[in-house]
Homo-oligomer: A and B are copies of this chain.
Amino acid sequence: MAWLYRPRRGDAALESTELKKAGLKATLPRLKILDILENSNQRHMSAEDVYKALLDLGEEVGFATVYRVLTQFEAAGLVIRHNFEGGHAVFELERGHHHDHIVCVQCGRVEEFYDQIIEDRQRAVVASKGYEINDHALVIYGNCTKIDCPYRSRG
């Protein structure tokens, strides 16, 4: 999966504070991973994406650590984990704006959307079934028609 990571002067102090607030020690792997999540132009990154970004920065961080840190970030509310169709989880920085996702089941492309009518009905349906709504609540699966989707010629 191609992606681009553009290093930027990291707000090391800010990020350190952000980690402390979350109750996490400001270790090098955690600072780097937070920095990558904040500066990547990919909104949804898999553990492997993050790992590769670390390699590209010349950081020697183990795969296990990447998973651990991402899981901790999730527990701390810094990121949201999505298990979209396709086997591997992707992580997204929690930015406070609720939105839902549409995922291409063929190429994995993800887009975000917000629709107030769906939000309202969604809440009604969930309540009527005896469920409590989840923050990352709704996923629509479809086939994208992007020119570079490898499976475009379907249905």
A59 proximal to B (CB < 8 A): no
A36 proximal to B (CB < 8 A): no
Q: Tell me if A104 and B131 are in contact (CB < 8 A).
A: yes
**Given A121-B117, A126-B102, A131-B102, does the pair A137, B140 have CB atoms closer than 8 Å?**
yes
A94 proximal to B (CB < 8 A): no
Mask of A118-155 contacts with B, CB within 8 angstroms, 1/0: 10011011100111111011111111111000000011
**Given A102-B125, A115-B121, A121-B115, does the pair A138, B139 have CB atoms closer than 8 Å?**
yes
* A5-13, A15-23, A39-47, A81-89 - the one binding chain B: A81-89
Q: Tell me if B146 and A142 are in contact (CB < 8 A).
A: no
Q: Tell me if A142 and B115 are in contact (CB < 8 A).
A: no
> In the docked arrangement, what's the CA distance between A144 and B132, Å?
6
Closest 5 A/B residue pairs (Cβ): A131-B142, A83-B85, A134-B141, A132-B143, A134-B142
